Structure formats: C-alpha cells, structure tokens
Amino acid sequence: MTHPHSSEQIRSIFEEEEYLRAYAERRRPDMARERASWSSPPPNLLEQLKAWWEPLLARADRICSGVGGPVRLDVGDHPLVVDFTARQVRDYQGENCRYRLSARAALIATNVARREIDWSNSLFLSLRFSASRVGPYNEFVYTFFTCLSIQRIDYVENWYAARDDDGQDILLDGWRVQKRCPHLRADLARFGSIEGTTLNCQMHGWRFDLASGRCLTSAGHQLRASPTR
C-alpha cells in the first residue's frame, strides 16, 4: 500500500497553518461562485414555505408531537414561525418560542429556491446561522429540517412508529419500568441503572425522571415507570 502523500505533507496538513491558508485561497473562486448563486428573498417567501412545509407538517404526527409548540425562524430581519401544534407556517406574532433559528435571508431563500430537503447539509454545516433554545435539546426540531420531503417525512414517521414501546416491563432497583429505552430502544435490563429517582441509560447516556417519566435529556421521550413498593 502506497500513500499518495509523504509523511512531511501529512504532518503539514495537521500541524501547519499555511496549509489551511493555501486551501482557503484555492477555494476562494468556488466560494465566490457559490455566493453569487444565492437567491434574493422573494416577496412571497412565506407563501412558498407554507405551500412546501404545511403538507409535510400534516403528515408528521410524531415530529409535531415531539416538538410540541412553535419554532421561530428568523429569515434575516423577517421573523416567521413554524407552528408544530397548529401545523402552520406563518408570521411571528410575538409569542414565546422555546426554539429559535436565525440565518441570512439569502441563505434561507436559496434553500427554498433549490428545494433543499436536508438543511443539515445546505445550512447547518455551513455554521452560518444562530440558534437558541429553552430547555433540553429536542431532536424532533432538527429532524424536521432534515426531512423536507414527503418521502423523508414518511420514512422517519414510520421509523418512530416502529420504535414505539412494545409494552414489556422489567423490574429495576425497586421500580417497574418499560424494557426498551424511548431513545433508541436499548434494553434497559442490560443498560439501565438507577440513582435515586433518575434512570440512566448507559447505551447513550440518556436520563429519565422516574417519578414523572419525563426525559431529562431531550423533549418528547416519555418513560413508563412506577415504584414497586
């Protein structure tokens, strides 16, 4: 096996700043072409988003339930709301939103013009956005923005359905709890441990309050649990 780069070249990639500066210079024309291709926000951007996303929201029962409220989307200076409860896309009306995503209007408009169905590739990995939240991370918010087509929404909804609780329970340190972790169905008989009234799933580090069943790691993942004494 022969490596295409010498040891010295490999070392320079990871240790020398000049490599990154040279790479940035080589890619500068590509970046300029990409920026030049960005779309200007059309006056009917909200109408386009409604026509695109509201049919998806109508099919996304588990995603909408998991988000459980409005998500604010700032398109430049124009605040919009993706209301997962009412399953609508509309102008922001001053309501409290636990989740907020902001990006340049040209980037959002470009994603809409190109009908980008996975914004993790077309927006999030660019790091050209800001986000805030109140409370724990909510995977359903992120999932929606990566499944912006009927095929993807149906796939992930079916995946969530297949992951539902199968009704089996186990006994664990004085508690009766469902056997499968609500996150990715790890066997809690093997990976579950209890500290006080908190259950820890050691497979991925997710935590649950046993008294209420509420997930302490992410919203929308309820655990069935009751004390045995």
The string of pLDDT tens digits covering residues 107-152 is 999 999 999 999 998 999 989 999 999 998 899 999 999 999 999 9
Q: pTM for this one? A: 0.71
Domain presence at residue 138? yes
**Structural domain boundaries, residue 215:** 169-227
Note whether 130 and 151 are same-domain residues: yes
**Dist CA 34 CA 120 (whole Å):** 17
Note whether 50 and 153 are same-domain residues: yes
Note whether 153 and 67 are same-domain residues: yes
Note whether 136 and 66 are same-domain residues: yes
DSSP helix/strand/coil, 212: coil
Note whether 53 and 142 are same-domain residues: yes
Q: In the chain, which residues have pLDDT < 70?
A: 164-165
Domain presence at residue 55? yes
- Final residue of a structural domain among 160, 179, 203: 160
Note whether 67 and 114 are same-domain residues: yes
Domain presence at residue 11? no
- Final residue of a structural domain among 160, 183, 216: 160
Number of domains in the chain: 2
Domain presence at residue 190? yes
pLDDT at 195: 94
- 109 with 41: CB under 8 angstroms? yes
Q: Is 165 exposed, middle or buried (0-12, 13-18, 19+ CB in 10 A)?
A: middle
Q: How many CB atoms lie within 10 A of CB 197?
A: 13
- Final residue of a structural domain among 108, 138, 160: 160
Note whether 56 and 134 are same-domain residues: yes
- Name residue 73's beta-bridge partners: 80, 101
Q: What is the CATH number of the domain that holds 84?
A: 3.30.1050
Instruction: State the pairing for strand pair 198-201/206-209.
Output: antiparallel
Provide the Cα torsion 93, 101, 112, 37; round to 10°. 130
